[in-house]
Amino acid sequence: MTLTLLQKGFASSVQDLGRFGFQKYGIIVGGVMDPPSAKLANWLVGNTDSAALIEYSFMGPSVLFTEDTLFALTGADCHPSLDRREIGTGRPCFARQGQILTVGGLVSGSRGYLAVAGGIDTPEWFGSRSTYERAGQGGFKGRLLQDQDQIPVGKPSEFAMRILEEMSRSGETMSKWFFSFHRSYRGTKIIRIIPDMLWKRFSEKSRHAFLTTDYQITASSDRMGYRLEGESLELDQPLELFSEAVTNGSIQVPRSGQPIILLTDHQSTGGYPRIAQVASVDLPMLAQLGPSSKLRFHSISVEEAEMLFVNSRKDFDLLRKRVHAQIASTVC
């Protein structure tokens, strides 16, 4: 079956958890910007973590279902409706053939996810369905989604089929319960960082400013990275740096002195001095912040960052079990 995209929303694309193992050829990892939200969406419709879904930014798409479909929306808050009836996010929803989902503008947060049972079934390219726009590969025809695209959907899991049948029988459009992460995107957000090896090469004034003043996300920000505006950062002495691998959360400082945080669609290598690295645990939150959001960096050790990440993943595994149990109790 297929989904018909009536309105594409903004920067909507097919994504999964990314394409690993090819950065040595200059091929980016890509994938969803907010993996916890994307995984939650997949769990709610009985998919595996790595099933492909649609990611949208700031403005969600409108979708026509060509068959009875189990779907879920997660990520940024919005007021989605199915044939004009509000349905909410973070829960499994059931659409009958011919019904239209309108996600609309995002109210809080910058990225949302639409998962459908069976996952988006575009061809894989090197083990992933993530859209790699620059190379014209992966995703739907290697590009962002457009109005009237017919997006293929895979076969739902048996678990998903049972939910689908149950909802079809009961005539329910959505579950009464829902899951959401207790995140707030308002106010100045604390983003934890680990100083880079070049940290000490920045002037004392710059290091101080970096940790004690706010940095604002500017409008020139996208899936590749966020350009920030704030106190200018400079090196004590000019450095001759060679291109080398950079990653999600690398904070580079080009000659302008205004830092750039690299995100999911960053190039595999870069040559600017890096002042710090965002702790992995804070990357999903960062992905949900939009232009004019304010950040305050807080320095932690790499051991602390690792522990925070490991603990968050343990909590996340518990959530997975709770979601699964909740769905099972609905069905059985």
Q: At what angle do helices 158-170 and 302-331 cross, to 10 degrees?
A: 50
64 vs 198, beta carbon nearer another protein:
198
Tell me the two tokens of residue 51: 């099933």
| Interface with another protein, residue 260, by CB under 8 A | no
CA distance 279 to 112: 22
| Interface with another protein, residue 126, by CB under 8 A | yes
| Interface with another protein, residue 307, by CB under 8 A | yes
| Interface with another protein, residue 20, by CB under 8 A | yes
**Options 133-141, 179-187, 215-223, 231-239: segment touching another protein (CB under 8 A):** 133-141
172 vs 222, beta carbon nearer another protein:
222
Q: Which of 69, 250, 264, 288 binds another protein (CB under 8 A)?
A: 250
DSSP 8-state class, residue 326: H
Q: What stretches of 58-212 adopt beta strand conformation (E)?
A: 62-65, 69-78, 81-82, 85-86, 93-95, 100-102, 106-116, 150-152, 189-195
CA 189, chain centre distance (Å): 18
249 vs 290, beta carbon nearer another protein:
249
17 vs 40, beta carbon nearer another protein:
17
- CB–CB of 30/138 below 8 Å? yes
| Interface with another protein, residue 50, by CB under 8 A | no
**Options 6-14, 93-101, 221-229, 239-247: segment touching another protein (CB under 8 A):** 239-247
| Interface with another protein, residue 313, by CB under 8 A | yes
| Interface with another protein, residue 245, by CB under 8 A | yes
Q: Which of 97, 203, 243, 292 binds another protein (CB under 8 A)?
A: 243
Q: How far is the CB of 69 from another protein (least distance, A)?
A: 31
Q: Which residues contact 329 (CB under 8 A, 6 or more apart)?
A: none
Q: How far is the CB of 269 from another protein (least distance, A)?
A: 3
CA distance 142 to 210: 38
H/E stretch holding 276 reads strand 274-278
State the residue for tokens 């993943």: 313
Tell me, what amino acid is at 107? V
| Interface with another protein, residue 309, by CB under 8 A | yes
Q: What stretches of 196-301 adopt beta strand conformation (E)?
A: 215-221, 225-229, 244-245, 250-252, 260-262, 269-270, 274-278, 294-299
- CB–CB of 2/152 below 8 Å? yes
| Interface with another protein, residue 158, by CB under 8 A | no
Residue 2: strand pairing partners: 152
| Interface with another protein, residue 315, by CB under 8 A | no
| Interface with another protein, residue 25, by CB under 8 A | yes
Q: How far is the CB of 57 from another protein (least distance, A)?
A: 23
| Interface with another protein, residue 220, by CB under 8 A | no
| Interface with another protein, residue 123, by CB under 8 A | no
Q: How far is the CB of 277 from another protein (least distance, A)?
A: 4
73 vs 251, beta carbon nearer another protein:
251
Q: Which of 58, 272, 306, 319 binds another protein (CB under 8 A)?
A: 306
CA distance 72 to 146: 21
Residue 170: strand pairing partners: none
| Interface with another protein, residue 264, by CB under 8 A | no
H/E stretch holding 161 reads helix 158-170
- Helix and strand tally (H, E) in the chain? 5, 20
What is the binding site for another protein (CB under 8 A)? 20-27, 125-126, 134-137, 194, 196-197, 242-245, 247, 249-250, 267-269, 277-280, 302-303, 305-307, 309-310, 313
